[in-house]
Structure 1
Amino acid sequence: MKRDAKRVAYLMNHMEQVDFVGEVVSGVNEGVGEYIIPIEIGSPPIAQHVIMDTGSDLIWVQCQKCQQCHSQFDPIFDPARSSSYTEIPCESSACDRLNGKQDCDREGSCTYRASYADVSESKGTLVFETIVFGDVRILNMAIGCGYMNKGTFGHQAGIMGLGAGPLSLVYEIPVGGFFSYCLPSRDSQVSGSLVIGKEAISTGSVWVPLLSSIKNPSLYYVRMIGLGVGGIRLPISEDIFHLTESGDGGVIIDSGTTVSRFPKVAYEAFRDAFIAQTMDIPRAPGVDLFDTCFNLPNTIDMPLVSFHFWSDIGEVSLVIPPRNFLVVVDNMRTACFAFAPSPASFSIIGNI
């Protein structure tokens, strides 16, 4: 408990006014559709690249002596070489913040299990460790040290959870829960950014309130009210996107999902409207989950699409250019409409 008290005191005294600005890069060149954040872990610090994920809470990396590890580009973190590594005991408040998922190993250390929608997972020990994010060094951060990791992590060291739960980086440090991210285009060589702190509040932006679900309190929801193609809002019922009081349905913002998905009725209306405005463009066979693809010439005008939301000032829209939703899938310039039907009643706005 003394360790917990020291941790809180340090954070409050030294970091209350600090903003965190880190680099975000596209994972396309590294074989993943997600976005990657470079961080450093341990003392001395070791470079690790992790997937940015607003749909989960915990930060974790693979650790040496793991029983099951996926292949990664960075050296696997070795706790034995870090002087700041400390395993968290089960009676710690940090272990309590695992939302009932904690367990204890034989030595009384807190263990975790992080599961993801694609059946990927990580199991290991919850530890206090030093991490460097941007130019800021954070002491005694509660992170996962993964010893059994399986799934689609694309050769990255682990996950940076930015969800709304208590072990998220956003809420573990006292910056008021503010954060923003700017994602570069998928094929861009330019970096984007992740900003945590009051600097994340930009002027001149249009704000859409976040909603919460009693079923999934760690996820970020927004009130979407419609979809549009070519400047025309489609006649899709707002009820399709509604988050119910019981926590069903709704629209999730998730940086860890690549392809945006909408319930079947909404998706088909969206797709069909796009096809109707592109009848003069040669079609190509579907690829994987993309059912609408084209043989694109070198230059051609394609219709814009739009997402419509409800905000405190009324209806607002996000207009998306073709380069951000048409994905070239081969060297023959086959490009696909990068949306898909949702397998459930909820929608997901992903990172494309």
Structure 2
Amino acid sequence: MARLPRPLIVAYGGAILLLLFLVSPCRAAAGGGDRPTAVVLPVSKDDATRQYVTTFRQRTPQVPVKAVLDLAGAMLWVDCEPGSYASSSYAGVPCGSKPCRYLKNAGCAVTCLDAPSSGCLNDTCAEFPKNTATSVSTAGNVITDVLSLPTTFRPAPGPFATAPAFVFTCGHTFLTEGLAAGATGMASLSRGRFALPTQLADTFGFSRNKFALCLPPASAAGVVVFGDAPYTFQPGGDHSKSLIYTPLLVNPVSTVPYGRKQKMTKYFIGNTTIQLNGRVSKEKPTDYFIGLTGMKVNGRVVSLNATLLAIDKKGVGGTKLSTVTPYTVLERSIHKAVIDAFARETATIPRAPAVEPFELCYDGSNLRTTRAGPAVPTIELMLQNTAAPWVVVGANSMVATKGSVLCLGVVDAGTEPQTSVVIGGHMMEDNLLEFDLEGSRLGFSSYLPSQLTSCNNFRLG
């Protein structure tokens, strides 16, 4: 759903561009003048929304900005409404500039009828920031401003490394509805050209475009690490050498905000005229897909329709990872197969009435608690080109609900979802995941507490 809250006249050009090399207006500055080898974002979990939030510094003078982490999305967006955004260092990205041309479906905000501000600039590149938690989008200026991230994590963050002209999109206050309390935007970790991983790698000159994600459970700390740092956890040392890798896949089907075949189209939304000149170029999705080939419960193969696990020519099917989806979502036949297999393997455990949105629930007072969470059968995700499966233990498969009831944390997606399997945040908690964009591969550790550590124990600096 798209909303345009102010009278903004936007013209869009659809030139087809190839992203063959990196271009960024950013130049790095660190506390000591040297480029950092790594920067980090602290991560915490919001209990009310089950979203994962981070904080960074932005603007002049610098202020802390709270944003929800998103593995999808084109780039960072923040609320730029008057009263929400104040800075002396922001600048609009000009129409026709190289960064604007690299945003394949960006347009040009040619006339804004409100008072000039960060969110209302003339002759400025425009994009469609989207709240991926609520599927609400709007139009907004693309601008640059100062952004700073810490170079150490524990015992305290700092010193900070600064990108003096970081590219992002201005959203509006209504776009933050549905986000964690205090969050004023969303920080994209996607493979997008102007998402955090690629911009930071280019800005700070990291030797490899990659990042590591360690999502925490509630009341604990997690981290996102960009750059060349070792993945050091206490105790146990560096976990970067023990990751198992599987290819990162790209859905081949284009997704654009306004798909059309005509050379020129006008849209009238309230007092706003959006003119799109030229056909919209085809752009691959920025989501992270992996090749799930099968599943096991308690070591026994679950019978699945293999066709659903592949991405077809229409972009339907496959498996992706999502930090804004709290629990793993499965196409109906896959959901039924997993539920039935898990029920067979736990037939001796007393059941409890179902608690929405879950179907299979148990009386938790009859389950032992182990280092790996509730003592239930493991779920193994069989992945392409891996020597070992991604093992999902009780802490990642079971969800505590009301009272002492524990439920298997998988949700029915219906019979015709766009994506057959969406691995949600709960299943990724306390797992170290490395997204190697340059090598197009995902590294995974499986559950860290089984290895006597956790995301909360990460150290850098």
TM-score, length of structure 2 as denominator length: 0.66
2:252 corresponds in structure 1 to: 214
Distance in 2 separating the partners of 1:138 and 1:36? 21
Which of 412, 426, 450 does residue 341 from structure 1 map onto? 412
Range 262-271 or range 281-290, more displaced: 281-290
Distance in 1 separating the partners of 2:190 and 2:161? 20
Task: Check conservation: 1:310, 1:316, Cα contact below 8 A.
Answer: no
Which of 226, 243, 257 does residue 325 from structure 2 map onto? 257
Which of 97, 113, 129 does residue 128 from structure 2 map onto? 113
1:21 corresponds in structure 2 to: 40
Which of 303, 306, 317 does residue 380 from structure 2 map onto? 306
Matches within 5 A, 1:159-170: 159-170=186-197
2:397 corresponds in structure 1 to: 325
Distance in 1 separating the partners of 2:26 and 2:423? 38
Letter in 2 for 1:333: S
Letter in 2 for 1:222: I
Task: Check conservation: 1:142, 1:167, Cα contact below 8 A.
Answer: yes
Distance in 1 separating the partners of 2:220 and 2:26? 38
Please give the secondary structure, in 1, of the residue aligned with 2:78: strand
Residue 139 (1) aligns with residue 164 (2):
yes
Task: Check conservation: 1:308, 1:317, Cα contact below 8 A.
Answer: yes
Please give the secondary structure, in 1, of the residue aligned with 2:37: coil
1:270 corresponds in structure 2 to: 338
Residue 99 (1) aligns with residue 104 (2):
yes
Deviation at 1:149, TM superposition (A): 3.0
Letter in 1 for 2:172: Y
Task: Check conservation: 2:26, 2:166, Cα contact below 8 A.
Answer: no
1:270-312 deviation per Cα after TM superposition (whole angstroms, max 9, x unaligned): 011111122233333333321222221064332222211112x
Distance in 1 separating the partners of 2:188 and 2:57? 15
Please give the secondary structure, in 2, of the residue aligned with 1:199: coil
Distance in 1 separating the partners of 2:289 and 2:424? 12
Deviation at 1:254, TM superposition (A): 1.8
Letter in 1 for 2:325: T
Please give the secondary structure, in 1, of the residue aligned with 2:334: helix
TM-score, length of structure 1 as denominator length: 0.84
Distance in 1 separating the partners of 2:313 and 2:29? 36
Matches within 5 A, 1:1-352: 8=25, 10-11=27-28, 18-28=37-47, 31-65=48-82, 77-79=84-86, 82-106=87-111, 107-115=122-130, 116=132, 118-134=134-150, 135-150=160-175, 151-155=177-181, 156-173=183-200, 174=202, 175=206, 176-184=208-216, 186-187=217-218, 189-199=219-229, 202-215=240-253, 216-297=284-365, 299-300=367-368, 301-311=375-385, 314-330=386-402, 332-343=403-414, 344-346=417-419, 347-352=421-426
Task: Check conservation: 1:102, 1:113, Cα contact below 8 A.
Answer: no
1:71 corresponds in structure 2 to: none
Task: Check conservation: 1:327, 1:335, Cα contact below 8 A.
Answer: yes
Q: Where do 5+ consecutive residues of structure 2 fail to align?
A: 1-21, 112-121, 151-159, 232-239, 254-283, 369-374, 427-461
How many residues in Structure 1 have an aligned counterpart in Structure 2?
A: 329
Task: Check conservation: 1:126, 1:144, Cα contact below 8 A.
Answer: yes
2:236 corresponds in structure 1 to: none
Deviation at 1:237, TM superposition (A): 3.8
Please give the secondary structure, in 2, of the residue aligned with 1:261: strand
Task: Check conservation: 2:23, 2:99, Cα contact below 8 A.
Answer: no
Task: Check conservation: 1:105, 1:111, Cα contact below 8 A.
Answer: no
1:149-189 deviation per Cα after TM superposition (whole angstroms, max 9, x unaligned): 334212211100111111111112323321111112x23x3
Letter in 2 for 1:91: G
Task: Check conservation: 2:328, 2:409, Cα contact below 8 A.
Answer: yes
Please give the secondary structure, in 2, of the residue aligned with 1:208: strand
Task: Check conservation: 2:129, 2:170, Cα contact below 8 A.
Answer: no
Closer/same/farther in 2, CA of residues 94 and 12 from structure 1, 3 Å limit: farther
Range 190-199 or range 295-304, more displaced: 295-304
Closer/same/farther in 2, CA of residues 172 and 62 from structure 1, 3 Å limit: same
Distance in 1 separating the partners of 2:351 and 2:214? 32
Letter in 2 for 1:50: A
Distance in 1 separating the partners of 2:365 and 2:88? 57
Closer/same/farther in 2, CA of residues 15 and 167 from structure 1, 3 Å limit: farther
1:216-241 deviation per Cα after TM superposition (whole angstroms, max 9, x unaligned): 43111111111121222312243321
Task: Check conservation: 1:180, 1:194, Cα contact below 8 A.
Answer: yes
> How well do the aligned residues superpose, as a CA RMSD in angstroms?
2.7
Task: Check conservation: 2:328, 2:411, Cα contact below 8 A.
Answer: yes
Task: Check conservation: 1:23, 1:193, Cα contact below 8 A.
Answer: yes
